[in-house]
Structure formats: structure tokens, C-alpha cells
Structure 1
């Protein structure tokens, strides 16, 4: 059906779907913050699980749809490119928080642990591509290991929050995760209704993600663009817009752990794109079908996560332009990666 659309119509459809994703993301932050208080899970875990999964749904649909249609590189680069983009968004959020370095103020051990898990999960595709291709019903064993590690890490994160063996030093710039006071109208809204609204927005974003995947695949073929370039710098950035919106909104609400946890949790959740895409890609291992341009973004994502992890541990109070040095480094790395990819593409 899309083959009959004009090129301008395809770009218009892509833009409308991107706008839907953007607007939906605006509403999600407030709902996630309320649910963090109502459920007692805390901002970091709610950001890592609930908000991270919700804002990543459109990207998941893009990777699944692209893989099913045979666009292995687009499916892979959409997942990994989104991780790099979202990590850069955290640096943007740091710019908007003027009181101190965001990574210092949002001290939370769960976010540090999730960053370690993310590096491990990102290393698995590199391991897969460097050994002989082997699949089980056209699914690589690494794709089976990723969700297992992800789920085990969630349980470990919960235990870490309940009985931490390490605690960050509290300073006057540190913002603690404490429940917000609800007004009368908010209290009248049941927790079930909050969840219902949250999942409704997720569904809308999922449909928008499907439209983005279909239009992007058609544009890629029609304009002879590189799948990796489109995946990492078009679909990945567009489907990552909810993370940017929700992160900046969370910072402005003072929900700093939710902001950082939403990005790191969303990035960790994004590795599940690879499993979903490998299952729907029927021509063998997704990891062996992806190209070196795609693995360039994998290494970039690992590098950016390592820098972020260092910032979370070091907790610099203030750096240049009132942001952390790690935020400056993240923006430089991401901009450099874009320049290299654009030149190569």
C-alpha cells in the first residue's frame, strides 16, 4: 500500500507518527511519577521498568516490523542507535537542571547497577558476531540470553533498593526520592485508572511506531539510503523523543531519579529489541545479518554508557557550564559518531 504513496506523503506520515510519539511522551512522565509514589517502587525502579518500557514501545515496534520485512540492519541499528541517542538526551537534561550536575543530584545505586547491566547486554551482540553463526529455529542463543539477564537484573535491582550494601554520600545538592503530596483531584484518581491511562498511551505509541517503521523502510528503499543510517539517525532518534520529553519533564518536576532511571532503564529495555527482532527475522541470525556500521553504534553505545557510569560514580558537583564533565563528553561522543556515520553513509 505504501508503495503507491508519494515520497512527500511518506515523509508526512513519518512526521505525523513522530508527533504522536512526542505528545504521548509528555503525558507519561506525570503518570509514572504518581505510580512510583502509589506503588512504593520508587523513582529509579519505576523509571527503569515502567517508564523505560513505555517510552521504548514505539522503538520496539519499529525493530520488530523492520526485521519481519527483512530489513536486518534497520532493525538492529534502530535498537542500538536509540540507546546512544537516549544517553545523549540525559546530557541535555543535565543542561536544563541548573542547581548541580544531574548525576550528582540524582544519586541512586539502582541506576549505577542498571548501567553495569546495560554494558553487559551490549557486549553480547559483539560476542555473537565474532563466533560462527548458530541458531535455534533461526534465533541466535544470545537473543535467548538477553531477556533472561534482563529479568534477573530487575530482581537484583529490587533487592538492591530494599537492602543496599552501598549508599551514596548525601550532600546539600542531593535530591532524595520522596513521595510527592497529591492534591484532592489526584487523590480521587484510582491507581487502576492511572495504570489504564498509562497503558492506553503505550498502545498509541505502539501504533505510531508501526507507522514509523513502515514509512522509514519505504523511504530507505526509494531514496537508496543506508539502512544503518536511517535506523540510527532517523527512526532511533524519532522513537527516542519520548525519552527526551519525559526526562526533561521529570527534571523540571524534581523527579531526578526518575529522569536518570528512565533513560538507563529505557536503554536496558532497548536491548530486548534485539531479541524481538531476531525472532521475527527469519533469514538466520540478526547479528550476522547486521553490518559493521551497525556494530559501530554498538561500540559507541558501550563507550557512552561507560562514561555515564563513571559520572554516576564520581558524582562531580559542578563542571563546565554548570553541567558534569561526563555530560560534555557524552555530547561530544554522540556528535562525533553522527559525523562519522554521516560521512561514511
Structure 2
């Protein structure tokens, strides 16, 4: 048992390190490709970078669901979304020039925050709804997919023809293409794809190691998923967000977090599809609702910050960042006590 636990811990650490290493490189490639393709940071962050940084969550969550471990699967993906929002608060602390939500003001980011709140309510409604599963899938699952696609359509239209423009200030950092871009575009795409595949594989290894840790230590799947795997599979978001800020790609940093969380709702849908015993929403512990409700609260707080656009706050961070860090700390305490 001890050697098996040691092996699981080593595998977990190696996979997490691989995710962190790939994530830092992905941010640089994403910023470069956003400029070269003309997509811009916001759209590239939503359409491509968000999907890539979600691959560890996708691989880990689907693996747990197919292995008939609903608590581990859902606590991982729901916990990851809460952690991702915390990363925006950490990013605000790292960016010292002004409040990050002020500097990275964007109509696309506002739309993404609203879309995320809508998507997060759907699995919570499924949990409190009657136990219905047609062909082993809850009716809410296809609704999540349709809502995501429609929301993505709205985001694209908002980017193409915005009806709301942020007021430009001396602290606003607009998305401007880099004047100096070198190297092959094809090589950049290949590197991006290779790193994406590696993060997905690392996510699967991570979850397999997490299962071993949970089995050998006796920790609950809820605790392991909400703490260990949620944090580890979310490291690409933290690494890419901090790297993007250091590159001056603030819009990419914020849209990556919101876009990743929206994409993670497709991971929730995939977990229900992959779960072999009907609806996954009704087989997981009620405590899983905590992460969903906390993520809605934190997203709403960030949305207020995006609209208010406080230039400076206490310690040069916005009120919204201080609030979401506090909310997460309280929620984490609740999960630990109930875990």
C-alpha cells in the first residue's frame, strides 16, 4: 500500500509539473498566434486557449466519470472553476499598475461573465430536478451544449459589432498586435497543438494518480477532487494568465479565465455522457452544489468589478479581487469540514 501511494504521489507531481511547464509556453504562443491570425487576444483566449487549458480538466473529469466516481469527477471540474476565478484575484495582485479589471476592460469579457453565470445555473437546476435520464443522459446536458454554442455566437457578434465600449483611461491596456513577430507560423501552430496534447495526457495521468491517492489515504473523492485535482488541473490557467500579464496581454489573461470556465461546462456535459449509471447530477453528493453556487457568486462579483472599473483599491487591487479571495477561503473551509 505504501509503495502504491508513493507511486501515485510521484505520478501526480510529475503530471502537475508537466501541466505547469506546458502552460507557460502556451501563453507566449497564444499571444503570438492571436496577433498573427488577426483574431485578437479576446477571441483567441475564448476559442482556442480556453479549450487547450481545459484539456486537463476534460481528461481528468471524464476519466473519473467513466470510472463510476461522480463525486471525484464533479468536484474536480466545479472546484476548478472556482479556483480559476481565484486566479484572476491573484493576477490582479501580480499586476501592480492598476486594477486588472479596469485595465483589461472589454465587451467580450463582460459577455463571457454573463454567459458563465447562465451556464453555471443549469447543472444546479439538474441536481434539484426529478431524476430523469433519457439514454443515460439528463435533459439538461444537451441544453448546456446548446447554451454554450449560442453564447459563443453572442460573444463573436459582440467582438465584431460591439454595442458597448469601455472608457479609455491612462491605465487601460488595449489589445495591440506586437510589432515584431519572428519565426514560422506553421511551427508556432505545431508547437501549440503538441503542447495541447501533452496537457491533455498529463490531465489524464493526474486523475489516475488522484484516484490512487484517494484510495490509499482514505480521503473522500470530494476532498481530493475539490482540492488536489482541481488545483493541479487548473495550473495551466494560472500559468498562462500570469505569463500573459507579464507579456502585457491583459485581455488574453482575463478572457482565458472566463472562456475556460465556460468551456468547462462542456466538460460537465461530457461527464454526464460518460457516466455509466444514468444522470451524474443525482449520484453526486449534495456538497458539490457548494462549488457551483460559489462560482456563480464569484463570477457575479467579478462582473460588478468589470462594470465598476475601480482604478485602484486597497493594496492596489480591486474590491472584487479581495471579495472573491475571501469567498473562496470560506467555501474551502466548508468543503474541508464536510469532506
Using structure 1 for the length normalisation, give the TM-score: 0.96
Using the alignment, how far apart are the partners of 1:294 and 1:195 within structure 2? 37
Matched, 1:16 2:19: no
Does residue 171 (structure 1) correspond to residue 165 (structure 2)? The answer is: no
2:202 pairs with 1:208: yes
- For the residues of structure 2 that align with 1:129 and 1:92, how far apart are their CA atoms? 31
The equivalent of 1:147 in structure 2 is 145
Secondary structure at the residue paired with 2:272? helix
CA contact (8 A) 1:56 1:269 kept: yes
Q: CA deviation at 1:313?
A: 0.8
Give ranges in structure 1 of 5+ residues lacking alignment: none
* Helix, strand or coil at the partner of 1:118: helix
Counterpart mapping for 1:208-287 below 5 A: 208-287=202-281
**Distance in 1 (alpha carbons) for counterparts of 2:140 and 2:113:** 19
Q: How many residues align?
A: 339
Aligned to 1:330: 324
Partner residue of 1:62 out of 47, 60, 63: 60
The two structures, once aligned, show a CA RMSD in angstroms of 1.2
Deviation at 1:122, TM superposition (A): 0.5
**C-alpha separation in 2, matches of 1:22 and 1:200:** 15
* Matches of 2:46 and 2:330, distance apart in 1: 27
- Give a deviation string over 1:114-149, Cα, whole Å, max 9, x none: 111101110001111111111121011111111221
Structure 2 residue aligned with 1:78: 76
Secondary structure of the equivalent of 2:287?
Answer: helix
Structure 2 unaligned segments of length 5 or more: list them.
none
The TM-score with structure 2 as length reference comes to: 0.98
The Cα offsets for residues 196-244 of structure 1, whole Å up to 9 and x where unpaired, read as 2111101111111111111111221222211111111110110100111
Where does residue 111 of structure 1 map in the other structure?
A: 109
**Aligned pair 1:289/2:283, yes or no?**
yes
Q: Does 1:339 align with 2:333?
A: yes
Counterpart residue number, 1:52: 50
Which residue in the other structure is 1:125 paired with?
A: 123
SS in 2 for 1:292: coil
Superposed, which structure 2 residues align to 1:84-95 within 5 Å? 84-95=82-93
Change (3 A) 1:237 1:189: same
